[in-house]
Amino acid sequence: MADEGLVENFHGLSASERHFADPIVFWDETLRDGEQTPGVHFTPEEKLRVAEVLSEMGISVINAGIPVVSEEEAEAVRRVASAGLKARILAAARTVAGDVDAVIRSGATHIAIFVAASNVHLRYKLKMSQDEVLAASTRCVRQAKDAGLHVAFVTEDTVRAPFDFVERLYLAVKAEGADRLVISDTVGIMTPLTFRWYLREFHRRVAPTDWSVHCHNDFGLATANALTALEEGVTSPHVCVNGLGERAGNTPLEELVLGLEQLYGIRTGLDLSRLYELSRLVEELSGVPVSPTKAVVGYNAFSHEAGIHTHGILAHTLTYEPVQPEVVGRQRRMILGKHTGKAALVEKLKERGLALPDPVLMDLLQRLKTTAEHRSKAELEAFLREYRELFEQPGISNEQFWKLVDELGLGARVA
C-alpha cells in the first residue's frame, strides 16, 4: 500500500483535474520495441520466458513482435500466442496487406497497425501522400477487423504531424472499426505541459474511447509524459522493461507502475514484488546492463553510503527511501566506503556481536575511509574499456559484416 506521506500532496487536486482510467491497461513493448534496442535479439524461447513473467505479473497486453520480419520472429509470435497466457497477445504490422496476413496467421488476437504520419516521414521515408497513407490505413484496419482481430491503430511521429491530418486519419480508421487509437511521441520531444495540451486537443477532435500513448525517452521525459497522459484519461500506456527501446528507449514499466502506486495511490493490479526479478531477467536476456542509478531497479536504487543518509535510514527508512525495497522485490544495502559514517559502522559490527569503544571505533572508521580512498581503479578502468567497446559497436561488427560479404564472393563484384 502506498505510504500516506507520498500521496498526501495529491489530495488537493479536484476530480475534474484528474481523469485516470479504470482499469489502466498496461501494454508491454519489451519484445517488440525493446528488442529493437541496438544489438538486442531475443530467441523464441526467450520471448516466451519474458512473456510468461509479464503475464503472471498482470500485464494486460504483450506485443510479441512483427511476424513478417523473419521466420524466427513469426515462430516467436506463434509460440507466445499459443502459450495460453492470461495476457492478450498482440503482433504488429505495417499498413501492408501481407503484414496483416502474417499477424492473422500468427494466432495473435490483437494487432497494432502502424504507419508514419509526420511530413518528414511521409516525404523522406514513405514517399507517400497523406491521401495514400489514409487509404492504406483504412484498408488494413478493415482487413484486420474482417479477420476478427482487436485493432490498435498507431501513427509514428504523431505529435510532429499536421493536426488536421492526424484528425482526418484517426477519424477515418475509427469509422472502419479501429478499437484503440495510439499516439506516439516517437522522438521524445513532448514535455508534460505540451503533451497535456496535445492530448486534450486530440480528445476534443477525435473523441477516442480507448486510447494509448507510446512515449520515447530522448529527453528523459518518457515517464513524466506517460503519467501526464494517464492523468488525461489515456487508457493504455506503452511500457518497456528497464526502459529498453530505440535510441534512449521507452517508458520504463517499473517507473510508471511504481509512480502510479506510490505517488498517486492508484492500484494497478500488478504484482510489484516481481519487478526486480523481471528486470534482472530482461537484463540477462537482452545483454543490456541496467544503470546503477536507474530508478526502482538500478543496483544503487536502495543502496546507501553517505553517513548522513545511513544515519537517517537507520533511524527511519522513510527519511531517504520513498518506498520500501521489499515492495519491488529488492533489499536495502549499506555500502562501506569513503563516505561511511559512524552509525553505519556500528550497525555493521552488530553482525558479529561487536560493540567497540568510541576511540577504537573512530580508528576503524578512519582506516576504512583511507582504504576506500586508496583502492586501485585499474579493474574499474578495464571494465569500462570493455563496456564501451561492446556498446559503441553493438550488433554485427564491421569485421563480421565484411566476412559475410567475402563469403558470398561480393568483394570482387563491381557495382
The predicted-structure confidence for 117-162, as pLDDT tens digits, reads as follows 999 999 999 999 999 999 999 999 999 999 999 999 999 999 999 9
Q: Which of 231, 254, 286 is the last residue of a domain?
A: 286
| pLDDT given for residue 233 in this prediction | 97
Is 292 within a domain? Answer: no
Interatomic CA distance for residues 225 and 213, integer angstroms: 9
Q: Does residue 122 come out as left (phi exceeding 0), alpha (psi in the -120 to 50 range) or beta?
A: alpha
Q: Are residues 400 and 323 in the same domain?
A: no
The CATH number given to whatever domain includes residue 212 is 3.20.20.70
Q: Are residues 179 and 260 in the same domain?
A: yes
Alpha-carbon distance values, 191 to 16, 199, 221, 404 (Å): 21, 12, 7, 44
Degrees, nearest 5: CA angle 212-213-218: 170
Please give the tally of structural domains in the chain: 3
* % residues pLDDT > 90 (the chain): 76
Q: Is 2 a residue whose pLDDT tops 60?
A: no
Q: Are residues 151 and 281 in the same domain?
A: yes
Q: Are residues 113 and 150 in the same domain?
A: yes
Provide the domain limits for residue 79: 10-286
Is 337 within a domain? Answer: yes
Give the pLDDT confidence of 279-313 residue by residue, as tens digits: 999 999 999 999 999 999 999 999 988 878 888 88
Interatomic CA distance for residues 55 and 37, integer angstroms: 22
Cell output for 304: 546507501
Nearest Cα to Cα of residue 257 among 27, 5, 47, 91? 27
Q: Tell me if 50 sits within 8 A of 76, measured CB to CB.
A: no
Q: Are residues 334 and 187 in the same domain?
A: no
Give the pLDDT confidence of 211-223 residue by residue, as tens digits: 999 999 999 999 9
Residue 116, helix vs strand vs coil: strand
Alpha-carbon distance values, 67 to 28, 85, 201, 286 (Å): 17, 19, 34, 20
Q: Is 5 a residue whose pLDDT tops 50?
A: no
Interatomic CA distance for residues 217 and 224, integer angstroms: 10
Cis peptide before 292 (omega within 30 of 0): no
Q: Are residues 240 and 158 in the same domain?
A: yes
Residue 102: which H helix or E strand, with range?
helix 97-106
Q: Are residues 327 and 385 in the same domain?
A: no
Give the pLDDT confidence of 349-389 residue by residue, as tens digits: 998 999 999 998 899 989 888 988 888 899 989 999 998 98
pTM of the model: 0.90
Is 291 within a domain? Answer: no
Q: Are residues 337 and 391 in the same domain?
A: no
Q: Are residues 151 and 208 in the same domain?
A: yes
| pLDDT given for residue 1 in this prediction | 39
In this structure, the dihedral spanned by the alpha carbons of residues 115, 117, 119 and 120, taken in order and rounded to 10 degrees, is -50
